[in-house]
Chain A
Amino acid sequence: DSGVTQTPKHLITATGQRVTLRCSPRSGDLSVYWYQQSLDQGLQFLIQYYNGEERAKGNILERFSAQQFPDLHSELNLSSLELGDSALYFCASSVEREVPHTQYFGPGTRLTVL
C-alpha cells in the first residue's frame, strides 16, 4: 500500500459526459501528479500540482482540468468524453527534496467510455 488513495476504482460512462477522479496523496506529500495509461501504452504525464499550485503540464487535453485543494487532495476533471479517453488514470505523490526521489502511485481509476 503506497498510501495514495484514488476513487472511484472503476468508472463507466458514455461519450460526451463529464467525470471527476479524486486523489488523496500520502500524508505530508505536497506534490500530486496525474498520469494516463491507455491499453499497452506507457504512462503519459498529464499535470502536476505542488501545494495547491499548478507546477507543470504535460500532454493534457483542453477538455481535461485538475486542481489541488487546501487539504492537498486533487481532482482530475474529464469532460466531453470520447471513446479514446478510456484508460487507467493514475495519481502519484512525492516529497520533493528527498533522496531517493520517489513517486508513490495510487491504485488507479479505470475509466471506460462507451
Chain B
Amino acid sequence: LAKTTQPISMDSYEGQEVNITCSHNNIATNDYITWYQQFPSQGPRFIIQGYKTKVTNEVASLFIPADRKSSTLSLPRVSLSDTAVYYCLVGDMEGGYQKVTFGIGTKLQVIP
C-alpha cells in the first residue's frame, strides 16, 4: 500500500487560497490520488480524484506532477465552512477501496 504523508494541521484566513500537499513516494502505476473532507462527527465526503496532471471541479483543484510522487489539493478562497479534516488517499481503486487506507489527515482551521 502506498504510504502518504501530509501536514497534521494548517491554519488559513478566510478568503485565502489553501494548498495542502501530500507525499506518496511509492505510488504504484495503477494508483489514483483521492481527497476526502470530513467535518466533525460526520462521514467523510469525496472532494476530488486524479491520476496525473491537473483536475478541477467546482470545489477544488488537484495538481499532480509528472513523477506523481506528490500531489497538492488547492481550495480557492476558503471560508469558515471549509474548516475540516482533509484526507489524501492513494491506491488502486479500480476494484474498490479495499486497498486504500485513510490516515490521520490534515486538520484545516480557517480563521476569520
Interface residues of A (CB under 8 A from B): 2, 4, 31, 33, 35, 41-45, 48, 50, 55-56, 88, 90, 92, 94, 96-97, 100-108, 110
Given the interface pairs A56-B98, A107-B42, A108-B42, the reply to whether A101 lies near B34 with Cβ below 8 Å is: yes
Which residues of chain A come closer than 8 Å to B41, judged between CB atoms?
88, 108, 110
B65 at the interface (CB under 8 A from A): no
B45 at the interface (CB under 8 A from A): yes
Per-residue A-contact encoding for B68-112, CB less than 8 Å = 1, 0 else:
000000000000000000010000011111110111110000000
Q: Across the interface, do A100 and B49 meet the contact criterion of CB distance under 8 Å?
A: yes
Q: Across the interface, do B102 and A33 meet the contact criterion of CB distance under 8 Å?
A: no
- What's the minimum C-beta distance from A47 to chain B, rounded to whole angstroms? 9
The dominant DSSP class at the B interface is loop
Interface residues of B (CB under 8 A from A): 32, 34, 36, 41-46, 48-49, 87, 93-99, 101-105
Q: Across the interface, do A101 and B97 meet the contact criterion of CB distance under 8 Å?
A: yes
Partner of A105, one of B34, B43, B96, B105: B43
Q: Across the interface, do A42 and B49 meet the contact criterion of CB distance under 8 Å?
A: no
Q: Across the interface, do B43 and A102 meet the contact criterion of CB distance under 8 Å?
A: no
Most buried by B among A44, A96, A101, A104: A101
Which residues of chain B come closer than 8 Å to A104, judged between CB atoms?
46
Give Cα A4–Cα B46 distance, bound, in whole angstroms: 14
Given the interface pairs A2-B45, A88-B41, A102-B46, the reply to whether A45 lies near B94 with Cβ below 8 Å is: no
- What's the minimum C-beta distance from A75 to chain B, rounded to whole angstroms? 18
